[in-house]
Chain A
Amino acid sequence: TQLLEQSPQFLSIQEGENLTVYCNSSSVFSSLQWYRQEPGEGPVLLVTVVTGGEVKKLKRLTFQFGDARKDSSLHITAAQPGDTGLYLCAGARNQGGKLIFGQGTELSVKP
């Protein structure tokens, strides 16, 4: 049972386009994290959202946590080839460090 549904799983776009990745769940999370992973490396944390309705910006990336803390989105503006990679959302139920990962979104940005 996938507790955190991430979509789309694959996305191929042209440089300059915008995109949004979604993570949805029927469960409430105490926090939700977004990671980016390069092939052969561990995931790297992009952001953690904790408060319902919270919006965080990281340059061209905008992260939003749903009001009910069950869903989140990642929006990339004017995507660049350097944004190519695997994006992962992960939810935490408590402070213990155990994360539930979404299926991941493989993003390819073509020049």
Chain B
Amino acid sequence: GAVVSQHPSRVICKSGTSVKIECRSLDFQATTMFWYRQFPKQSLMLMATSNEGSKATYEQGVEKDKFLINHASLTLSTLTVTSAHPEDSSFYICSTVNSVTGELFFGEGSRLTVL
């Protein structure tokens, strides 16, 4: 079964609205989660590292006020795309790392379409 669950898998929203994507670690507590963005036919680009109980670490060029990350519990991280615009339309994927085994697990991804 799935180790990491993302929700929603697909979301369509109007320009200017905010959208929240959830990433849940189902099998273990994850102090660290990662958020990636992927455009069609392209690779995954790391957006930020989500740290439980502290601020997320954003990669260069990623607007932290645009992409709000909250990691309030050991099993849940959320990514909120604020004031979404069509150029934010993308496939967003999260991953978690099992700190005991070092194994990395990816979610199923969330397809965001901004009209």
Contact = CB atoms under 8 A, between A and B. Distances in A.
Interface of A: 6, 33, 35, 40-45, 86, 88, 90, 95-104, 106
B75 interface: no
Contacts of B46: 98-101
Interface of B: 4, 6, 32, 34, 36, 41-46, 49, 91, 93, 95-97, 102, 104, 106-109, 111
Given A95-B102, A96-B97, A97-B32, A41 B42 contact: no
A104 B42 CA distance: 7
A42 B111 contact: no
B43 A98 contact: no
A41 B44 contact: no
Contact of A41 (B41, B95, B96, B109): B109
B43 A97 contact: no
Nearest to A92: B104
Give the most central of B4, B42, B49: most A CB within 10 Å: B42
B29 to A, nearest CB: 14
B97 A88 contact: no
Contacts of B6: 42
